[in-house]
A and B are shown apart, each in its own frame.
Chain A
Amino acid sequence: MSTPSPEPSGALRRTLFLSGSILLTGAGMGLLLRTYVGQQIYWPDYIVIGLFPLLFSQIAVGVMLALFGFFDGLRGGDPLHVMRRSWRNKEEEVPLAATAIVIPVFNEEVERVRMGIENMWRSLEKTGQIEHFDFYLCSDSNDADHWIEEECAWLNLCQKLKAFGKIFYRKRRHAINSKSGNVADFCRRWGKRYRYMIVLDADSVMSGPTMVRLVRAMEANPAVGILQTQPVQVLGQSLFRRLLQFSGSAYGKIFTQGCSFTQTSSSSYWGHNAIIRIAPFIEHCDLPMLPVPDARGRHVLSHDTVEAALMRRAGYEVWVAYDESGSWEEGPPNMSDMLKRDRRWCAGNLQHFWFLFGRGIELGNRLQIWIGLMAYLCSPIWLAFLIAGSFTSYSRARFLLYSAGPEDIEDAAHHQETLLLFVLTVVLLFLPRVLSLLSQLPDARHFGGVFRLLLSTLLETVLSILMAPVLMLFHTLFVIQVILGWQIKWTTQNRSDSGLAFSHCVILYGWQTLLGIAGQSLAWTYLGSSSYWLMPIFIGWILAPITAWVTASKRLGEILRSWGLLIIPAEAEPPPELAGLADAASPSPEIPPLWSQALLCPYVHAIHLSMVRQRHSGGEDKKPAQSLAKLREKLVLEGPDALKPKEKLRLLWDAETVFWLHRELWSRPGDKLHPQWERLQAESGKSPLLRHYLLIETSD
């Protein structure tokens, strides 16, 4: 094992990054101010002047990150990086340590999660190091069907892979603090058994060799607390997901590389596809409560950034292994699902404001927090900038029309600085894409060849331009919601490419169409030819329902794929770890609901009873609480659909009740049972849970 290298400070890099960003912003600001020379200043101009540096600095930050990433790529990678230190020379000799692979789930597509675990297990098995790894499926699902299906899927995995004692299932009774609480719960219960945990999302997949290398990296570098990989978005079928995964594969790396170059050992943690040293995580990274008056808003929603900052504050390094392959995830299938996710992320990122000025936070982490904050705050700022800019144009147009002499019109019409500023903005906006494309050219065959790579980029750029104004309006609304203190809940991310109904698109995005039409009419009326620069915005708004509907189409995604467009390397050379995942679908019962099988099918019933610990020592004859007894009777007499979701969970949590119901539902005469039970009894022998998960052939 190599001795840990001295921690790189990265001070020079950060100085260069900050000074470069400030310089570019200053150049833009200088050009803007020069456009005002000799001009009448109107009140909206002050808003434009005030907001411009905030917006332009974001463009500058993006450009600087891309430039640094490009430079780092050209020279073959960062020599200071933890994955390029001397331990790599004797990598195979570095011993492994006990590692838990923790997969928090919340009402996810069970079969997809099961298959992901199976593929990862098989990949790890091939490395010959499986004995160092245990899997934990940590469920917070609050849907009874998902819960019971998860239990059966867990048994299927154990049985199929002969992994009893290696793959574990844990269901939390109270899903306190969402995903971060779920991971913390694992740490409290079993953290001591392991030196590392690899945290995954329900849709994450990692290859065995990558996981083994991450453990070795941690073993060889004891100062590293978190090592994050860059998950590549894959398995997209709808046009929207294919766009996201193409942009991620084509442009993502250069930005991540730039971030890593700038932040060095104070890099980001994205909450999944990362390995964590458990002991310091337990000691230092439990999330503090936010100091807000409303108790409901004290929990940190986006835990990852804060955990990285806390780990760094405790003296451990946090790195992004941007060059490691074998790390994948899935993106949202359409714009509506992305907005649902963004709403949650927006609330989380804005909460990070509290940590921006917290004591002991490293500059690299502060930069990360700032970038995360501005990712959403930029939207209302952009909107305000557009409105103020429009008023400015209107005031100027009126002045030229009613008051100006010929020399004023000449001055206004031929303003070199305006043109220069426009050109500079466009160049800076597109420079990162150009740099990304240049860096991908040697790898172009994995994107379908140079021509198709360029064509795909063009398509992605056009659609991004159309979607940007739509997202801007929604993000503005999200920011307002957060400021007003509306609660944002943790929701399940939809990952199926089933498309969107046009009526849904009209209802959700139609108001933007009306806004676009009204805005364009007003702009034409009052601004004349000056309104042309607003056209991309109005077109984006007007077409919003159609854009959302079309991009959600799976068929269109498939057509483009057949033409070789929006292809990514993971599709050109599919890794075995992703095999079968795109088509993995949970069994659908002929007669729902699935959860009733825990009461009827003896095998499903037994698995559930084994997982639910007996809470009372009173035995089965002990009388249940009156409310529970009422619920039991209600279920028997009124059928499974009569219960509310919480009532189902309450019954399922009580082992005695589950056992009692099993006996009672089979023993009561038909006239004392709801008719649905008899239908379910007849179907129990052919239960999809039995057929899909439990009755599998195993060979010894």
Chain B
Amino acid sequence: MASIDSSPTNSGSDQAVWNEAYERVRNFLETFALGDHTQAPRLALKLVDRAREIHRDDPSKHPTTLAMEQAHHLMAEWLAANLETSERPTSQTFASGYIALLLGQSLRITPDSFLVTPLAPPLRQALRESLLVTGPDLEISSMSPRSFDYGPMLNLARQTWHKWDARAIVVAIAFWIGVYFIFYWWLSDLL
């Protein structure tokens, strides 16, 4: 594990929390799949150093939170500058920016350009051109079922459902048993 500070003034617990902050930022930057594996640790060290400076003035925030805030802040600025979005960065800015990075493959080809301002014009152009088409415009149609005449079965079923009671079932069963026995005796003699 890389230690980011060997200053003798730091206590052991301080070192642990700053190491945690470094590790977090490095893990975060590694998710961008930079072409150069040393780039993420280098950037992480810079961001943690910046966080340490802020932490000296305002120690209320945890180093990890502070370092990641710096990472997000830098990322937002960098994306806004390169995507030319004047508004305050939103989730959609990040989404568009990340997708542009993925589709443009610039971080794999030129990992050194990551979070570097200003970006070289061809790279900036490539970033802006990588747009994501998620779906065509809607052209709404109305699709609803037409009336359907189920014919005689529906009438029969409705009569049964609406007049369904135990007495009717008993009568029906008794009736058919009777019919069955009549047929049985009659056919037994005949056949």
Residues of A within 8 A of B (CB): 36, 39, 41, 43, 46, 134, 155, 158-159, 164-165, 168-170, 184, 187-193, 282-284, 286-289, 291, 293, 310, 353-360, 600-603, 605-607, 609-611, 614, 619-620, 655-656, 658-659, 663, 666-670, 681-682, 684-685, 687, 690, 694-695, 698
Q: With the chains together, A165 CA to B154 CA distance in Å?
A: 47
Q: Are B150 and A193 in contact (CB under 8 A)?
A: no
Q: Decide: A669 near B157, CB < 8 A? Known: A287-B145, A690-B33.
A: no
Task: Give B33-64 interface residues, CB cut-off 8 Å to A.
Answer: 33, 62-64
Interface: B92 (CB within 8 A)? yes
Q: Decide: A187 near B24, CB < 8 A? Known: A288-B148, A609-B92, A669-B62.
A: no
Smallest CB gap from A608: residue in B: B95
Q: With the chains together, A655 CA to B152 CA distance in Å?
A: 51
The 4 closest A-B pairs by CB, nearest first: A606-B98, A685-B30, A659-B91, A609-B95
Q: Are B91 and A666 in contact (CB under 8 A)?
A: no
* Minimum C-beta distance from A388 to chain B (A): 13
Q: Decide: A36 near B98, CB < 8 A? Known: A189-B140, A685-B27.
A: no
Q: How many residues of B contact A (CB 8 A)?
A: 63
Task: Give B123-174 interface residues, CB cut-off 8 Å to A.
Answer: 131-136, 138-154, 157-158, 161
Q: Decide: A190 near B136, CB < 8 A? Known: A603-B31, A682-B27.
A: yes
Interface: B78 (CB within 8 A)? no
What would be 23 A-B contacts, judged by CB atoms less than 8 Å apart?
Answer: A155-B102, A158-B133, A189-B139, A192-B139, A283-B143, A354-B154, A355-B150, A356-B153, A357-B151, A358-B149, A358-B150, A603-B32, A603-B33, A603-B101, A605-B95, A605-B98, A607-B132, A609-B91, A610-B132, A611-B134, A620-B91, A658-B91, A667-B69
State which of A286, A669, A684, A695 has its C-beta within 8 Å of the C-beta of B65.
Answer: A669
* Minimum C-beta distance from B94 to chain A (A): 7
* Minimum C-beta distance from B29 to chain A (A): 9
Q: Are A656 and B148 in contact (CB under 8 A)?
A: no
Q: Are B31 and A284 in contact (CB under 8 A)?
A: no
Q: Are B139 and A666 in contact (CB under 8 A)?
A: no
Q: Are B191 and A41 in contact (CB under 8 A)?
A: yes
Chain B residues within an 8 Å CB radius of A668: 64-65
* Minimum C-beta distance from B114 to chain A (A): 12
Q: Decide: A359 near B149, CB < 8 A? Known: A168-B136, A667-B65.
A: yes
Q: Are A289 and B92 in contact (CB under 8 A)?
A: no
Interface: B7 (CB within 8 A)? no
Q: Decide: A191 near B94, CB < 8 A? Known: A666-B68, A667-B64.
A: no
Residue of A43, A193, A611, A666 ringed by the most chain B CB atoms within 10 A: A666
Chain A residues within an 8 Å CB radius of B157: 291
Interface: B115 (CB within 8 A)? no
State which of B140, B145, B149 has its C-beta within 8 Å of the C-beta of A286.
Answer: B145
Chain A residues within an 8 Å CB radius of B94: 602, 606, 609, 659
Residue of A603, A658, A668 ringed by the most chain B CB atoms within 10 A: A603
Chain B residues within an 8 Å CB radius of A681: 24, 27-28
- Specify the main secondary structure of chain A where it touches its partner: helix
Smallest CB gap from B149: residue in A: A359
* Minimum C-beta distance from B61 to chain A (A): 10
Chain A residues within an 8 Å CB radius of B187: 41, 46
Q: With the chains together, A164 CA to B52 CA distance in Å?
A: 44
* Minimum C-beta distance from A466 to chain B (A): 36
Q: Are B33 and A282 in contact (CB under 8 A)?
A: no
Interface: B77 (CB within 8 A)? no
Chain B residues within an 8 Å CB radius of A659: 91, 94
Interface: B9 (CB within 8 A)? no
Q: Are A354 and B135 in contact (CB under 8 A)?
A: no
Q: Are A164 and B28 in contact (CB under 8 A)?
A: no
Chain A residues within an 8 Å CB radius of B27: 681-682, 684-685
Q: Decide: A354 near B153, CB < 8 A? Known: A41-B187, A602-B31.
A: yes
Q: With the chains together, A653 CA to B179 CA distance in Å?
A: 62
Chain A residues within an 8 Å CB radius of B184: 43, 46
Chain A residues within an 8 Å CB radius of B133: 158, 164-165
Q: Decide: A666 near B136, CB < 8 A? Known: A358-B149, A603-B98.
A: no
State which of A291, A359, A606, A690 has its C-beta within 8 Å of the C-beta of B99.
Answer: A606
Q: Are A698 and B105 in contact (CB under 8 A)?
A: yes
* Minimum C-beta distance from A666 to chain B (A): 5
Q: Are B151 and A695 in contact (CB under 8 A)?
A: no
Q: With the chains together, A184 CA to B142 CA distance in Å?
A: 10
Residue of A39, A169, A190, A690 ringed by the most chain B CB atoms within 10 A: A190
Chain A residues within an 8 Å CB radius of B145: 286-289
Q: Are A655 and B136 in contact (CB under 8 A)?
A: no
Q: Are B32 and A620 in contact (CB under 8 A)?
A: no
Interface: B90 (CB within 8 A)? yes
Q: Decide: A190 near B139, CB < 8 A? Known: A610-B134, A667-B68.
A: yes
Chain B residues within an 8 Å CB radius of A356: 153
Chain B residues within an 8 Å CB radius of A359: 149-151
Q: Decide: A193 near B151, CB < 8 A? Known: A601-B31, A695-B108.
A: no
Chain B residues within an 8 Å CB radius of A656: 91
Chain B residues within an 8 Å CB radius of A282: 141-143
Q: With the chains together, A169 CA to B141 CA distance in Å?
A: 19
Q: Are A189 and B138 in contact (CB under 8 A)?
A: yes
* Minimum C-beta distance from B141 to chain A (A): 5
State which of B90, B105, B183 has its C-beta within 8 Å of the C-beta of A46.
Answer: B183
* Minimum C-beta distance from A536 to chain B (A): 30
Q: Are A655 and B91 in contact (CB under 8 A)?
A: yes
Chain B residues within an 8 Å CB radius of A601: 31
Interface: B112 (CB within 8 A)? no
State which of A188, A607, A694 has its C-beta within 8 Å of the C-beta of B141.
Answer: A188
* Minimum C-beta distance from B68 to chain A (A): 4
Task: Give B67-109 interface residues, CB cut-off 8 Å to A.
Answer: 68-69, 71-72, 90-92, 94-99, 101-103, 105, 108
* Minimum C-beta distance from A527 to chain B (A): 22
**With contacts A286-B143, A668-B65 known, what are 10 further pairs, Cβ within 8 A?**
A164-B131, A168-B135, A188-B141, A189-B138, A193-B136, A291-B154, A353-B153, A359-B150, A606-B97, A659-B94
* Minimum C-beta distance from A50 to chain B (A): 10
Chain B residues within an 8 Å CB radius of A620: 90-91
Task: Give B172-191 interface residues, CB cut-off 8 Å to A.
Answer: 180, 183-184, 187-188, 191
Residue of A36, A293, A669 ringed by the most chain B CB atoms within 10 A: A669
Chain B residues within an 8 Å CB radius of A291: 150, 154, 157-158
Chain B residues within an 8 Å CB radius of A619: 90
State which of B30, B64, B153 has its C-beta within 8 Å of the C-beta of A670.
Answer: B64
Chain B residues within an 8 Å CB radius of A666: 24, 28, 68, 71-72
